[in-house]
Chain A
């Protein structure tokens, strides 16, 4: 905000256009080449690309672990992997996929796309954004270095106590897991806070809440879900660390603690977590369906209500993970009802997408193929979920491979397929190049068929009595055939993933000539160049419908008046998106990295000695103070419109 004397702000700058405007804006907002600029950038697009690349590397690492597990399980009583190593494998696979891949990649897509979709120049709290990336990276590296040193966690990705407690998980393994949770949870909370602030306060003028793109709605709901659920896992992993390191009794039943407390606190986070992963997929699907069916998705209000109600309902389901623990049956009935009820908003959404395809003119390019694969796979996963919601059924199916099949159907079907479709769809916006369409179709079919071959037999493995998390199984129970099929399918699925990455790598080497709107889509992100300039929009657009680029084909109305030589954002009101304030946006700085290093050192050292919290607080505080030190009063530049 400008601080002025009584004089009026000089507003007599000439109107800048074209190249001169671009150059001045680029100078203000750009990230020059070089290591220092790379470290200190606060550009949301660059940071989100870092996030995505890192998350994909973790996905590959976690996927390799799953292939090793599948080789072990292809034959009965296989001696390939020792039980200790196998327990680390499945724990690392689950932990990597859930904490280091699924949530971060969805948040990263939102960090890139949301400011572009709502017509603003930057995300809110950009330095916090940079900080969150370093913290996330530190947590992931901590976990994987531990795994390589044979001290990776081995108590499962949800680490039930007392198995993960001090007596039955000796050593640092589970401490490292619990602290990694702290890292990733801090990063996720940071990003969610930024997204909520950006979405509520930085939308383009005229973009009322009912004109927001569906992915922006999804990001808003998901961010609120993160804010409400992540503290629960932070608390419970803190309790676990405290029990393991300083001898508290939170989970010790012999001293009036409770082993089930862990399960409640974890699953209060854990269930919303899977919807945090699933809902962005839903957002992707809505955008892809709209663009490739040449009409907006049916019943926008119903779609928004469905997303919001899933976000709310998700918090009332967690006990369905605990149906076998012997809690009162009457209480279970509520969770059965809620778990089934969440099928209704999902059903509404599936209806709307299919009806949009019916009514529109669908063009089955690769992104829409992924949507079709998503609908098929996710609906199957959702229906097995309805089965698992019923207590008598769950008491047989719980903790068997039926559940493994279910959650892979909903996670891969519901999140990974839309994600891959989204990567294909927004690839030109990220990089300026199109992915190969022919290769994309081959990739999709390999992935889709490989997935079905890998995971469909697991339903049957579960029914035949194969429990989860076993490093081997006896011959003669009929499990050999289903497991072998799953192994073959897993490798096919992995081949598909490699095809996808190869497609991306090859496409990146083409010339960047995709143009700003290669798909003729309707959202604001397609109004800017591909890839966008560092400042996103030369002038802030003004929006009067849900599909601005379709309703303003020749000329998108814009609003001028933001400063060109200072970083400045337009803040609008929450409901009506009326222009309200100018807000300065921070310049690049290395303090987020320094603060992240200090915080990382403190967190990791605290696993080894409680004194680290005291000692480590000092450099962390110093870095934060330097980061937040108020800048002196500025003499604002004249406004050049």
Chain B
């Protein structure tokens, strides 16, 4: 079935970081196979309908001199077996598709053995993702925001919650989506099969900045994943330069600490993304900007310009404050 995959890619470079055609996860690959099956069956049906239509249009209709409406019911009779056959064909096709659906669904739902499962909890907020990696040892729980790292080949069970409105967690390359509904807990399983970087985007309209609520997904080897996990568990480093120290002072005593948390500092508020390892991420503000110095400046100086309506206010930093804050944030690798 994998060989049929090229049917999905009429143009070559369509395998992007946010595309269903990637099939980089187990469920994603099953989806691609099922999609190809459906596409073939439905295209066959479409071809039959269009053939009939075109034939009816271009047929040289016998020049009956009959009065319209004469003898209509008798003329219906030869078509009856054809109609029955057509209905039988549709029913058979649908039955086939339903069976394929059922089998694929069962394959997708197959539970991985529990001891090899990674447990992640994602809480969606307007308009960012709060990520926690669970652990049997509570002091090894990782909190990060707007990014997840996954070890290749190991299933990750993701518990999905929402703090405000309905969102939807969706990594097109890996698997289907699942809604995050306040007051309910849903879950999904991701089983990545290929190393790479992918992009996920919220898939349920959640307000003003629904378009800018993305998540970076990195699939890497087990060794790299563990290295990342260890890095995530280390608290933020102490600032090394005077500029960074000034930034540290600002960030931990002024507006930033009212909402953000940086492990290892007094900033421990939980209502905004965790910034402990901000500089190691690929993007800022839930995928709005790539992580570069210039974009960091733009974001901190004017969050409402980049993502109007989001919940980070315009602080109105003085230039020297801004420089120091950026200098400090860049040390948060």
Contact = CB atoms under 8 A, between A and B. Distances in A.
B17 interface: yes
Given A326-B179, A386-B38, A467 B203 contact: yes
Interface string A342-376: 01100110111011011111101000000010011
Interface in A539-569: 547, 550-551, 553
Contacts of B101: 336, 390-393
B87 interface: yes
Interface string B105-122: 100110000000000000
B53 interface: yes
A338 to B, nearest CB: 11
Contacts of B183: 253-254, 258-259
Contacts of B31: 392-393, 395-396
A259 B181 contact: yes
B230 interface: no
Contacts of B102: 333
Given A386-B42, A467-B170, A399 B177 contact: yes
Contact of A469 (B28, B72, B210): B210
A465 B79 contact: no
A380 B100 CA distance: 21
B237 interface: no
B35 A343 contact: no
B16 A383 contact: no
Contact of B184 (A260, A333, A362, A364): A260
B98 A337 contact: yes
A117 to B, nearest CB: 16
Contacts of B184: 253, 259-260, 326
Contacts of A547: 68-69, 72
A358 B52 contact: yes
Interface string B79-109: 1101100110011001001101110110011
A169 to B, nearest CB: 8
Interface in A155-196: 155-156, 160, 162-163, 167-168
Nearest to A162: B165
A84 B210 CA distance: 11
Interface string B227-269: 0000000000000000000000000000000000000000000
Interface residues of B, number: 90
A24 interface: no
Given A294-B68, A295-B69, A468-B205, A463 B164 contact: no
Interface string B310-323: 00000000000000
Given A351-B86, A358-B55, A474-B287, A340 B97 contact: yes
Contact of A341 (B53, B57, B94, B206): B94
B20 interface: yes
Nearest to B289: A474
A87 B27 CA distance: 32
Given A294-B68, A326-B178, A390-B34, A340 B94 contact: yes
Contacts of B175: 395-396
Contact of A168 (B59, B94, B104, B207): B207
B83 A467 contact: no
Given A163-B205, A326-B178, A464 B56 contact: no
B18 interface: yes
A154 B282 CA distance: 31
B61 A387 contact: no
Given A83-B308, A84-B309, A473-B211, A379 B69 contact: no
Interface stretch (A46-54, A296-304, A610-618): A296-304
A162 B182 contact: yes
Contacts of A375: 49, 53
Contacts of B75: 295, 359
Interface string B26-61: 011011001100110010011001101101110101
Given A160-B166, A163-B206, A376-B53, A325 B98 contact: no
B137 interface: no
Interface of A: 82-84, 87, 155-156, 160, 162-163, 167-168, 253-254, 258-260, 294-296, 298-299, 302, 324-326, 329, 333, 336-337, 340-341, 343-344, 347-348, 350-352, 354-355, 357-362, 364, 372, 375-376, 379-380, 383-384, 386-387, 390-400, 463-465, 467-474, 476-478, 520, 522, 547, 550-551, 553
Given A355-B56, A553-B67, 17 more contacts: A258-B183, A259-B184, A324-B203, A337-B98, A351-B86, A354-B53, A379-B45, A379-B46, A391-B101, A392-B30, A393-B35, A395-B177, A464-B16, A467-B170, A467-B203, A469-B210, A477-B19
Interface of B: 8, 13-14, 16-21, 27-28, 30-31, 34-35, 38-39, 42, 45-46, 49-50, 52-53, 55-57, 59, 61, 63-64, 67-70, 72, 75-76, 79-80, 82-83, 86-87, 90-91, 94, 97-98, 100-102, 104-105, 108-109, 126, 164-166, 168, 170, 172, 175-179, 181-184, 186-187, 199, 201-211, 214, 287, 308-309
15 contacts: A162-B164, A168-B126, A326-B187, A348-B86, A357-B57, A390-B104, A393-B38, A396-B172, A399-B168, A464-B18, A465-B172, A469-B205, A470-B211, A472-B211, A551-B69
